[in-house]
Amino acid sequence: MQSICAVEGVTAAGIKEGKYGLALIKAEGTAAAAFTKNIARAGPVILMQERIKHGRLAAIISNSGCANALTGQRGIDDAVEMASIAAEELSLDPREVGVASTGVISRYLNLPLIKDQCHRIAPLLERSPLAEISAAKAIMTTDLVEKHSLVRREGFTIGGICKGSGMIAPNMGTMLGYVYTDAEISASDLQVALKTAVKRSFNRVVVDGDTSTNDVVFCTATSTAGKVPLNEFTAALEECCVSLGRQIASDGEGATKLIEVIVRGARSEDEADLAARTVVGSPLVKTAIYGEDPNWGRIVAAAGRSGAEFDPEKVSCWISGSGLKAAVCERGVLTEDLKTAKASLAGREVQIELDLAAGNGKAIAWGCDLTEKYVEINGKYTT
């Protein structure tokens, strides 16, 4: 599937050697970013929160295998050095090189390895499907598949890649994401559009409820396609990010099912957002979906503790999947359709719909089931 290299002005390259990977993406233009809200921020996050204020990027260097998080001043200095390594290879201003890391927390970067890998892949930068695949694979950690998205509109294109499988919770980007567009858009407008898109996509993905120290989404506009209406661009950017977010949820560590939660009838979009994210993040809901148990009481109970205001006696709930749809609760009353509901949980994708009957607010969130495999993966992550 095509993604970032379908955007004019973008070239990429990547390398993966064991668990240590490095991706380079070169594209000059206005830029915006969103970052983790975890106060335990990685060195590259601290660095880029300052540098992105200039509203411009010319390249991104991103490593996997080491998060460079909880590494103090040395971690920030190493992130600065990473930018300088890429800048030297690509003849760029290091202040316009984005830096991101992912992997084990509380380990120092192997800068000699990063410098060697960068030197080897910089000459390989090209605009091709193979190039974007190599870059997407380079940043994977526990991901099983690379993640790509491409949205074409009349007059402009948006493409993105991302990584994310575990340590995923809705408190910013929940992963590393690199999005590019050929639209001409100012840095300030790009920041507004990205904030809106992130709110309705990556911020609504929950795998395990843990917010990473390294989350970042960079968005760069090369401006080669000319100006486009901001509302059209924002809608397309949201579509691109939603696609990437769904792929993260589907590839959650140990996951066997993608869960989509649709909440409508809330007092506002924000309250629908709260309810949807709480339901999809509930360990009890996740394990019930894994066990194919239509325990709708867990769903309503999760919504009830979310902070959204509603009357439980007016709530209706449906469960869909495998071509089936079952009402399990209507106006707060259990229905007799649990046999169909159980059958609907047998497939790879499950949809939960909740009508809170309290207003016109609507939101969608995505997640996955919680399995024994998740414990196995994370119980032995560093050893």
In tens, the pLDDT along 62-73 reads 999 999 999 999
Is position 335 annotated in a ligand binding site? Answer: no
Tens of pLDDT, residues 288-333: 999 999 989 999 999 999 999 999 999 999 999 999 999 999 998 8
pLDDT of residue 231: 95
The whole-number average pLDDT for the span 193-209 is 85
pLDDT at 372 over 90: no
Percentage of residues in the chain having pLDDT higher than 70: 94
- Token readout for 13 is 């390259």
- pLDDT tens, position by position, 112-155: 999 999 999 999 999 999 999 999 999 998 888 899 999 999 99
Rounded to whole angstroms, how far apart are CA atoms 169 and 274? Answer: 13
Q: Output the CA–CA distances (angstroms, integers) from residue 141 to 60, 118, 138, 156, 297, in the order listed.
A: 18, 19, 9, 32, 35
8-state DSSP, 126: B
Q: Is residue 60 scored above 50 in pLDDT? A: yes
pLDDT for 20 equals: 97
Residue with tokens 């639209």: 183
Is 142 within any annotated ligand binding site? no
Instruction: Report residue 75: phi and psi, to 5°.
Output: -65, -40
Query: Residue 325 in 3-state DSSP?
Result: strand
- The continuous run of DSSP H or E covering 132 comes out as helix 129-138
- For residue 172, what pLDDT is reported? 46
- To the question of whether residue 115 is assigned a binding role by annotation, the answer is no
Domains of the chain: 4-250 (3.60.70.12), 258-379 (3.10.20.340)
Arithmetic mean of pLDDT over the chain: 92
Q: What is the pLDDT of residue 144?
A: 83
Distance CA 147, CA 162 (A): 6
Q: Lowest mean pLDDT: which of 128-132, 172-176, 252-256?
A: 172-176
Q: Annotation-wise, does 253 bind a ligand?
A: yes
Scored b (16 or more CB within 10 A) or e, 129-138 reads eebbbbbbbb
The answer to whether the annotation marks 81 as part of a ligand binding site is no
Of 212 and 141, the one with more pLDDT:
141
Catalytic residue list: 174
3-state secondary structure of 58: strand
> pTM of the predicted model, to two decimals?
0.88
